[in-house]
Structure 1
Amino acid sequence: MPSSRRALLGAGAAGVGLAVAGAVPSLAQANPGRPRPSSNHTPFPPLVDDPAGILALPKGFSYAIVTRTGVTKLDRGQGRTPSDHDGMAVFDAGHGRYTIIQNHECDPGADHGVPHVKGTVYDPSAVDAGGCTVITTDRSGRNLGEFVAISGTVSNCAGGPTPWRTWLTCEETEDRAGDTWEEGDRSGVFLKDHGYVFEVTADGKADPRPIKCLGRYAHEAVAIGDDRTSVYLSEDADGPNGLFYRWTAPRGVKLGPGVLTRLAPNAGTLAAMAIILDDGSVLPDVAYLTSAQLGRPFPVRWVEVPERDAQSKNVREQFADNQVTRGKKFEGVWGTDEGVYVVNSYAWDEGELPTDATPHDGMVWFYHYRNQTIQLVTYFPHQPTAEDGSAAKYGDLTFDGPDNVTVTPWGSLVLAEDGAGASHVLSSFPGGPTYAIARNQLNDSEFCGPTFTADGKVLFVNMQDPGLTLAITGAWEKYLG
């Protein structure tokens, strides 16, 4: 990095989950009209080990297992719950019930892949691969049914809910028609291109058509802009590192149920983010920023993608490094009424960190719609012990690898860890502290898809391996409100 740019950015600082108060956006609400968090947060109590050895929680909190891979049954004779639970959204179904739409991040040939159900299949050659299921539960976490909503997709990682109560599921892959897949003694050839976003409904009326206007790449997560004319998308990729995108609808188009699916493949404008520095140059990678820049807004320019379906070259490879701002593992995305949060999980791998950049164990950003600026609101400095998992000896005091993110009904954040050592669910206040609110006691598998019910009663979260959906209840408002 040129010395002039280094001088513009300043030096980093040490600590865990650093943030600065007063220099961040107001905590935009998931549900306008609910109280915003105060500046004085009641810390979550220490986590208490679970006698069952599954989930450590603060005193007074409890959990129920909603689904379990290979154990709980699907409706309509469709088999049993698929594996690799990942992103999900929850919607109020009335009468104390909730509807969950859930991703399964499976590659073809998985032991418990999503079964092909007539009318739900995108690519018939992607057997026992990814997809989504729809789950009905109540406030106690009682399983009231689950069925397949889309199948024949690949590696459905995260996605995002829409204001019209559907789910956008994202394929984190760049597989092409004609590519072969192999798993154990099973193999096949893809009949269709993959790496798309699909819209999924909770009513069982599947429409497994890709939303091609949002591009074909290793999609991670997505959020609908507040005016329903824009979509924000993250890319979890390296070699080169991934990008953060904005899609803008054609003039006169407002998004609603099924609109994205019906649009032409070249509809609207897909563009990649470029963070602009004081001298007018483009920040080449987010890893050049450190905790010294917490709360500082940077202008953003959006650079149009030349060929969004990536038929000749991966989308991220279509840009020179001085055109856009890259980041290793652009992950969770969640929209609010003021802007959108986006997460970078970590960057410390040799060969995947830009020259002279600073290793880190996680970043949370906030992009402001109206101002068209982005700012770092939470920063996890790199701890070398995180690389080999030895930081786990510090229990619930060290955090790394934030992945999925959600905004709580009170405006604060919940992050799911996918790092080294013990995995946590974290409560994070932009401009304030970060607390552990759950720990995986079963293994070192990541947490995925945290999502709150609109009434603030239940936090649903997934443990990807062995494939558990958990309903966590307790005095949330005391600690998050």
Structure 2
Amino acid sequence: MERRSLLRAAALGVGAAAFSGSLWRQAAAYPALPGTSPYGALQSADANGIMLPSGFTSRVIARSTQTVSGTGYTWHKAPDGGACFADGSGWIYVSNAEVGSAGGGASAVKFNSSGTVTGAYSILSGTNRNCAGGATPWNTWLSCEEVDTGYVYETDPWGTNPAVRRAAMGRFNHEAAAADPVRKVIYLTEDKSDGCLYRFVPTTWGDLSSGTLQVLKEVSGVLSWANVPDSDGSPTATRYQVSGAKVFNGGEGCHYRADICYFTTKGDNRVWAYDASANTLAVVYDDNVSGAPLTGVDNVTAADVGDLYVAEDGGNMEICIITPDDIVAPFLRITGQSSSEICGPAFNPAGNRLYFSSQRGTSGSSSGGITYEVTGPFRTTL
């Protein structure tokens, strides 16, 4: 720990210019630095080309343009963001399709209590570049369009109710969403080099048909939320409507846990933590400061124990773990797929199976996507 403290002090000394205001006050515990993973070193690649820690195994759940085993459903192209939902003693994994020209949407695959696939089906179609999204506490999936005039669609993981466009949540280059049940808001990231962090305040919690879109401001180091005057982003884009709106370089995944919204920015390769209770912002990980293995930050999720799992868009095709004691290390690596990216990491309700996709697989094209499951002794205590 003494050596880690010295490394952190040295790193902050080099990178102090990156921190200011409320961010600097939170920097003492960050950024995460390279260390030994709680799961140990990665082993040789398995039959699926995935390097995993000892005790973990992988399997292929679905392949783009091919029928999901045990079902009659053809899995979508370019799988992206995803989430799991409890379904009795089983669960459902939903996955977006990042396909343009109204070819996007989202699909779901259903599992029984033993993890056997029992069904697969569409839950959204005819939309554009559905990149990431987020789950709601009332068990719907928010699928976000990554285009300048993109919408958020609220979908039913069971495929019973039709998807609904939630125009009140703003029209911009949406990426991901994360629900905060304490403050009763939905955080939203924007995939632009001069993008913003937003939150949607529904008129009634649990009903996203109406509400107020707000953007995060920072003036003289003080953070606040301001209403966006025109949430449909026309003629002025939402990110340019509020003076002092804080700019983030390419917003990607986000995940809420225990008063904190974690989100990533690909332009500067950072993982951020917005502490909603304290109204502070901190950089959890910065590759320019940390000198760690994580590059191409993208989708992010968290285990109940508090570990963050961050997927790479490129890099070494890894999912890296960031522990509560600020260690960053590879958790897995996909080999032989350097023209792809990892998307949609999500745990099943029991927390012992991790789902994710390689968007373009070995082919390097959207038709070659592969969706995986990793099973093993994920830790439940620190």
**What is the TM-score when the length of structure 1 is the normalising length?**
0.67
Contact 2:306–2:324 (CA under 8 A) maintained in structure 1:
no
Taking a change above 3 Å as real, the CA distance of residues 398 and 222 of structure 1, as seen in their structure-2 partners, is: same
Amino acid at match of 1:225: D
Aligned-partner SS, 1:316:
helix
Which residue of the partner structure matches residue 241 of structure 2?
A: 318
Whole-angstrom distance in 1 between the partners of 2:188 and 2:271: 15
| 1:119-175: CA deviation from partner (whole Å, max 9, x where unpaired) | xxxxxxx2xx11011111246653322101110111001111111111111011125
Aligned-partner SS, 2:240:
helix
Instruction: Figure out how many residues of one structure are paired with residues of the other and give that number.
Output: 352
Aligned-partner SS, 1:12:
helix
Contact 2:239–2:245 (CA under 8 A) maintained in structure 1:
no
The question of 1:413 aligning with 2:325 is answered no
Amino acid at match of 1:324: A
Aligned-partner SS, 2:178:
strand
Amino acid at match of 1:66: I
The question of 1:47 aligning with 2:42 is answered yes
| 1:14-68: CA deviation from partner (whole Å, max 9, x where unpaired) | xxxxxx999459xxxxxxxxxxxxxx98633221222435211112210111111
Amino acid at match of 2:358: M
The question of 1:469 aligning with 2:382 is answered no
Which residue of the partner structure matches residue 199 of structure 2?
A: 246
Contact 1:88–1:450 (CA under 8 A) maintained in structure 2:
yes
Whole-angstrom distance in 2 between the partners of 1:157 and 1:381: 26
Matches within 5 A, 1:29-178: 43-52=38-47, 54-73=49-68, 80-95=74-89, 97-108=90-101, 126=102, 129-138=103-112, 141-175=115-149
Amino acid at match of 1:104: A
Aligned-partner SS, 1:346:
coil
Which of 381, 397, 402 is equivalent to 2:288?
381
Amino acid at match of 1:80: T
Taking a change above 3 Å as real, the CA distance of residues 431 and 374 of structure 1, as seen in their structure-2 partners, is: farther
Which of 315, 340, 346 is equivalent to 1:451?
346
Q: CA deviation at 1:371?
A: 1.9
Aligned-partner SS, 1:477:
coil
Matches within 5 A, 1:247-326: 247-250=200-203, 253=204, 255-256=205-206, 259-260=207-208, 262-263=209-210, 268-276=211-219, 280=220, 299-319=222-242, 323-326=244-247
Taking a change above 3 Å as real, the CA distance of residues 228 and 103 of structure 1, as seen in their structure-2 partners, is: farther
| 1:275-298: CA deviation from partner (whole Å, max 9, x where unpaired) | 34xxx2xxxxxxxxxxxxxxxxx6
Contact 1:377–1:430 (CA under 8 A) maintained in structure 2:
no
Contact 1:87–1:404 (CA under 8 A) maintained in structure 2:
yes
Contact 2:71–2:119 (CA under 8 A) maintained in structure 1:
no
Q: CA deviation at 1:10?
A: 7.2
Amino acid at match of 2:276: Y
User: Which is higher, the Rg of structure 1 or of structure 2?
Assistant: 1
Which residue of the partner structure matches residue 212 of structure 1?
A: 167
Whole-angstrom distance in 1 between the partners of 2:37 and 2:275: 27
Aligned-partner SS, 1:414:
strand
Unmatched runs of 5 consecutive residues or more in structure 1: 1-8, 14-19, 26-39, 109-125, 176-194, 281-297, 348-361, 385-396
Amino acid at match of 2:15: G
Whole-angstrom distance in 1 between the partners of 2:183 and 2:240: 29
Which residue of the partner structure matches residue 255 of structure 2?
A: 334
Matches within 5 A, 1:176-195: 195=150
Which residue of the partner structure matches residue 400 of structure 1?
A: 295
Which residue of the partner structure matches residue 355 of structure 2?
A: 460
Contact 1:217–1:235 (CA under 8 A) maintained in structure 2:
yes
Which residue of the partner structure matches residue 202 of structure 1?
A: 157
Which residue of the partner structure matches residue 117 of structure 1?
A: none
Taking a change above 3 Å as real, the CA distance of residues 82 and 449 of structure 1, as seen in their structure-2 partners, is: same
Amino acid at match of 2:51: A
The question of 1:12 aligning with 2:10 is answered no
**Displacement over 6 Å in runs of 4+:** none
Which residue of the partner structure matches residue 438 of structure 1?
A: 332
Q: CA deviation at 1:370?
A: 2.2
Q: CA deviation at 1:244?
A: 0.5
Taking a change above 3 Å as real, the CA distance of residues 328 and 169 of structure 1, as seen in their structure-2 partners, is: same
The question of 1:425 aligning with 2:319 is answered yes
Unmatched runs of 5 consecutive residues or more in structure 2: 1-11, 17-24, 361-367
**What is the TM-score when the length of structure 2 is the normalising length?**
0.84
Contact 2:37–2:327 (CA under 8 A) maintained in structure 1:
no
Whole-angstrom distance in 2 between the partners of 1:207 and 1:228: 28
Whole-angstrom distance in 2 between the partners of 1:330 and 1:471: 26
Whole-angstrom distance in 2 between the partners of 1:141 and 1:219: 32
Aligned-partner SS, 2:239:
helix
Whole-angstrom distance in 2 between the partners of 1:405 and 1:89: 11
Amino acid at match of 1:55: I
Amino acid at match of 1:60: G
Aligned-partner SS, 1:58:
coil
Taking a change above 3 Å as real, the CA distance of residues 346 and 410 of structure 1, as seen in their structure-2 partners, is: same
Q: CA deviation at 1:75?
A: 9.0
Whole-angstrom distance in 1 between the partners of 2:185 and 2:266: 24
RMSD: 2.9
